[in-house]
Amino acid sequence: MLIDFFYTLRAAKLPVSIREYLTLLEALQAGVIDDDGGPSVDKFYYLARTTLVKDEVQFDKFDRAFSAYFKGVEMLTDFTQEVPLDWLRKTLEVELSPEEKAKIEKMGWDELMETLKKRFEEQKERHAGGSKWIGTGGTSPFGHGGYNPQGIRIGGAGKNKSAVKVWDQRTFRDYDDNLELGTRNIKVALRRLRRFAREGAAEELDLDDTIHCTAANAGLLDIKLVPERHNKVKVLLLMDVGGTMDEHIHRVEELFSAAKTEFKHLEFYYFHNCVYDFVWKNNRRRYAEKFPTWDIIRKYNRDYKLIFIGDATMSPYEIVQRGGSVEYNNEEPGAEWLQRLTHAFPKFAWINPEPPGVWEYRQSIAMIQQLMSQRMFPLSLAGLEQAMRLLSK
């Protein structure tokens, strides 16, 4: 039983022993995950991770091995019908010309959600390559592997970056703030924001004043002390994680690592695509450990410099529509929360890892730029210097 799962974990270089594997089987036979609605993939995942993984640094390897063995995800919709996995097997991928893409109909938000519900009720078999049913390839707004100017991705991986909602739960990886930088350029750019001031008790030697006072005192030593110099800049960092940001992980980690080094007073939180009513500190526990955005606004003073890091690439609905988030039904649109944050912290900027050459072709980037009062800068040496110069004024 589950012997192939055991070998998959070993192939992923996880130090899983036979004793731990037998403990997992004993727990399954004892019905540890059978209560409260019966067993599920999620319950088995946590049981297996608890019994087989000795150190949390191995969680990422375990997640990848688990995903490789148990391909597919549970549906998170509220509809009563699930999409069978064999409907979503990717057997073809239609490549359309720009003229063909322009002819494909784009649905409004309400029409899109209502149509998806009808498809769940009507569809009886697997479909691929069409323009209507839930499946793969083709031009249908439901499924994955094809093209539609805006739709709902069910399973699969994002390709065209036009999904309005994504019906699969993902565990995003935290950015590593201990990453060794390959260059000091980012640190040098961030230092433009630092501002030092002396504070606290007088405990640091003032060499120049000591020499002057000793000489004036006929050579008798007269030691002078001054308060230590501290970096007074306070930074609140909000970072987009997951989805299209996966392409920029390394560069964002470099920036995050540099910021942790340069700023003594640094607070950071994560969000996905757009900020809504909560943010989080740990991506693995993002649903269990939420921090209300209102609390963030109330907790930190107006002297904090607010820096967003994100590609601003999303469906416009995520910015302006209630319930527009790809992951849950947000009660207020993202634009409301962005306005509240920028009002609470007047010194703000948005750092975008996407090259500026593509900004004009993405509607959501233009919308975020407007909400940021055009304070969007590229994640480059010149862009960081411009952002730091603006925040230091």
Residue 45 has pLDDT above 70, yes or no: yes
Residue 6 has pLDDT above 60, yes or no: yes
* Residue owning tokens 């899983």: 16
> Using CA atoms, how far apart are residues 156 and 18, in angstroms rounded to an integer?
33
Candidate from 231-235, 252-256, 343-347 with smallest mean pLDDT: 231-235
Q: What is the dihedral of CA 33, 38, 42, 44, to 10 degrees?
A: 40
CA atoms within 13 A on the CB side of 58: 18
The mean pLDDT value for 369-389 works out to: 90
Q: Which pLDDT band holds residue 108 (cuts at 50, 70, 90)?
A: low
The mean pLDDT value for 316-344 works out to: 91
Beta-strand ranges (E) seen in 93-169 are 135-136, 142-144, 151-153, 163-166
The mean pLDDT value for 148-176 works out to: 52
Q: What are phi and psi of 266, to 5 degrees?
A: -125, 125
Residue 158 burial (10 A CB sphere; 0-12, 13-18, 19+): middle
Q: Are 11 and 65 in contact (CB under 8 A)?
A: yes
The mean pLDDT value for 84-90 works out to: 51
The mean pLDDT value for 120-140 works out to: 58
Number of Cβ within a 10 Å radius of residue 341: 19
Beta-strand ranges (E) seen in the chain are 135-136, 142-144, 151-153, 163-166, 196-205, 225-231, 234-240, 265-271, 278-280, 290-292, 305-309, 348-352, 376-378
DSSP code string of 194-206? --EEEEEEEEEE-
Token pair belonging to 378: 């590229």
The number of angstroms, rounded, from the C-alpha of 258 to the middle of its chain's C-alpha atoms is 18
> Using CA atoms, how far apart are residues 325 and 180, in angstroms rounded to an integer?
34
Q: Which pLDDT band holds residue 236 (cuts at 50, 70, 90)?
A: very high
Residue 115 has pLDDT above 70, yes or no: no
User: If DSSP codes are grouped into helix, strand and coil, which group holds residue 178?
Assistant: coil
